[in-house]
């Protein structure tokens, strides 16, 4: 069975979390990352190389369709100040309004 990468995420944990969304549809997945797995670097934190989410090629189209709901907040048009953290990594300034 040939697997194809359908997404690349910042960490193994993020890729596995997204991959498990496919469980209820009986679509198997595999994570490809340069770390050594559960006890290695990048399990819960950012990995410079990222982690690839792979599915069997026969499930590729369906998996991509199902995962369209998993979008990065930076890809959405969200008014400035609505995010907990800005794109540059700093917390937004508090303007005193609640």
Q: What are the residue boundaries of the structural domains of the chain, listed by start?
A: 3-73
Does residue 93 surpass a pLDDT of 70?
no
pLDDT score at 26:
96
Q: On the CB side of 8, how many CA atoms lie within 13 Å of its CA?
A: 6
Which is more confidently placed, 68 or 6? 6
Does residue 2 surpass a pLDDT of 70?
yes
pLDDT score at 54:
96
What number does CATH give the domain 3-73? 3.30.70
- The DSSP line for 27-43 is ---EEE-SS-STTSTTS
Instruction: Convert the pLDDT of each residue in 17-60 to its tens digit.
Output: 899 999 999 999 999 988 665 555 545 667 778 889 999 999 99
Structure tokens at 35: 């770390």
pLDDT score at 5:
95
* Sign of the torsion angle spanned by Cα atoms 62, 66, 72, 77: positive
Instruction: Convert the pLDDT of each residue in 69-87 to its tens digit.
Output: 655 444 444 445 544 443 4
């Amino acid at each position: 069975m040939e697997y194809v990468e359908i997404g690349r995420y910042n960490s193994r944990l993020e890729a596995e979390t997204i991959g498990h969304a496919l469980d209820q549809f009986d679509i198997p997945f595999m994570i490809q990352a340069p770390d050594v797995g559960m006890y290695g670097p990048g399990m819960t934190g950012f990995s410079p190389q990222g982690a690839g989410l792979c599915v069997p090629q026969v499930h590729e189209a369906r998996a991509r369709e199902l995962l369209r709901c998993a979008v990065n907040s930076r890809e959405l048009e969200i008014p400035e100040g609505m995010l907990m953290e800005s794109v540059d990594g700093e917390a937004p300034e508090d303007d005193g309004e609640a």
